[in-house]
Structure 1
Amino acid sequence: MRLLPKMAKKVNGSWVLNDDPPETFHIQGRATLIAPDDKWMYVDEKKAINVLFKKYLKTLTPSHQLLLSRFNFQDLAFKVVGVGSVGTRCLALLVTDSLDNPLFIQIKQALPSVLSPYFPQKKHDKIQRGQKIVYGQRLMQSASDSFLGWAKGSLGYEYYFRQLRDMKVAAQIELFSELMFGRYAWLCCDILSHAHARAGGMAPQVTGYLGNNQDFAEAVVRYANNYADVVEKDYEAFRTACRNGTLKAQSDEDFRADLSI
C-alpha cells in the first residue's frame, strides 16, 4: 500500500495511475502525448490488455500463473522509466489482489537487436523479440525477475514484461571520491563481464583473442574518452539551441502547466 499514494489514487472505488507527463500519462487521456492519428488512440485498452495479459501468463511458470490470476486489472498508463525507453512503447500496468495489495507490471516494447544485421536470419527462427530478451536476461542473471515474460499485441508490437519497481537503490556517484569511483567502476565492469561470459558461452575464445597485453584495454579507454568528448559537444550544442530559441526548453512544472495537469 505504501507505493500506491505515489503512483496512483483511488477514484470511485478503483485505483487510477497518476498522470505525471512527460514520464507517465494515460494514452487516451487529456494529458496524452501520443499523436492523434496513432493506432493506439483507437484501441479498446481494457480488452487489448486482457488479451495481451493472458498471452503473457502462458510464458510464466505454473506457480506464477496461479499467483497473478488472483490479481485484477485496475489501470494502464504510458510510462518512460529511463533513457532506453524513449521512443518505445512502454506501459505501466496496475493490478491489485482481493486485499487491495498492488502489483505494478512494466510492459516494454521489444525492438530488434542492434546486432541483428550482423547475423544471418534463419527462416525457421520465429522466436518473438520479447522472448529473446527474456532468455538473455535469464542467462545473464543468476536470479532473474520472477515475473519476466513476453507477448505480442494485436497491433503487431512485441513486448516483454517484468515487475515495475520504483524503489531501486542507485549509487550517488557524484559524491564519490576519485578512489571510490574507480573501485565502483571496476566492480560494475567485473559483474557485467561475468554476466556476458555466462550468456555468450565464448569466454575462453574471447580471452584467447584478447591475449595478455593491454592493447584492448587501451583501445577501450581511447574510445571512452572520445565518446565523452562527443557527448560534451552535443550537450553544448543542445544548450546553445535552447538559449537562442531553436529548441523550446521547459521545466517539468511548466510542461505540466501547459497541459493543465
Structure 2
Amino acid sequence: MPNIMWTWQQAAAVGAVIAAVFGVLRLRDAAPRVRPFLREAALIIWLYGLWQLVGSMTGSGDYRAVTRGQRIWDLERDVHLPSEHTLQGWVLPHPLLVQAANLYYATMHFTVLIVFLVWLFTRHREVYGRWRTVLALLTAACLLIQFLPVAPPRMIPGTGMADTAVQYGQSVYGGIGGFQPDQLSAMPSVHVGWAVLVAVAVCAVTRSRWRYLAVLHAAVTVFVVVVTGNHFWADGIVACALLLLALVVEHFGRRLARRVATRRKGLPNSGHAVPSLVDAA
C-alpha cells in the first residue's frame, strides 16, 4: 500500500514554511482571518513531526520489544481479557472484511483527526484550544511510553496472530517514500487514544445526531487495531487511561491559569468554577 505520510523532516519543513507565512502576515497585519488557521496548522504539523521523530528513535529490532509484548499477552490471559486471536479468527475467513480493516487502519487514523480539528477550529473555536491541549498532552504521554519498544501481537511467536496487512499487500510498515513507521510502538495505542479523544470531544461539543459517527469511529478503530494484529487490548486501555489523565491535567491547569490571570489583574476571584471540558457546549 503506498504510504504518503511525511517524515519528521518533511513535517518540520512544512511547519516552518507555514509559520513563516504566518509571521509575515502578522507583521503586515494582513489576512486576520487566515492567520489563526496558519498558526494552528503549523503547531499540529510540528506535533505530527515530533510523533514521527520519536517513532524513529524507539529501537526498531530490539528483541526486548518482543519480550515485553509476550508479557502483555500473558498478563491479558491471566486477567481473562478476551483473546485477540479469537476475534481475529472470526474475521480471517472474510477477505473483504480483512482488507477493509487494513485500509481503515492505514488511512483513517490521521484523516479523522484532521477533519475533527478543522471542524472544531471553524465551528467551535471557543473550545478548540482546550481540546488541542488535551491532544498534545495525550500524544506526549504516549510518546514517552513508546521510548520502551513493545512489539505488536502479530510479531509475538506463539500467539497465532496473523499479519493481515502483509497477507494482502497492504502494510504501511516499509521504506516507501523515505518513511518507515515504527512497528515497535504498540504500547500504548495512539490510534485508540486519538479516536476516543475525538469521540469524547465531539459528544461534549455538539448535540447533533452526527456525533454518533465519532463514537462509531472509536469503536471501529478498537476493532480494527485488534483484528489486524497491530495492538493488544491493553494498548487501548492504557491509551484511554492516558486520555483521562490528559483531561484532568488540562482541566486543573486551566483553572490554575485563570486564577493566576485574575490575581495579576488585581481582581477578586469570583469563586465560580471553570466549566469542565466535558461540560463544554
Normalising by structure 1, we get a TM-score of 0.27
Greater fraction of residues in strand: 1
Q: Which has the larger radius of gyration?
A: 1
Normalising by structure 2, we get a TM-score of 0.25
Higher relative contact order (CA 8 A, sep 6+): 2
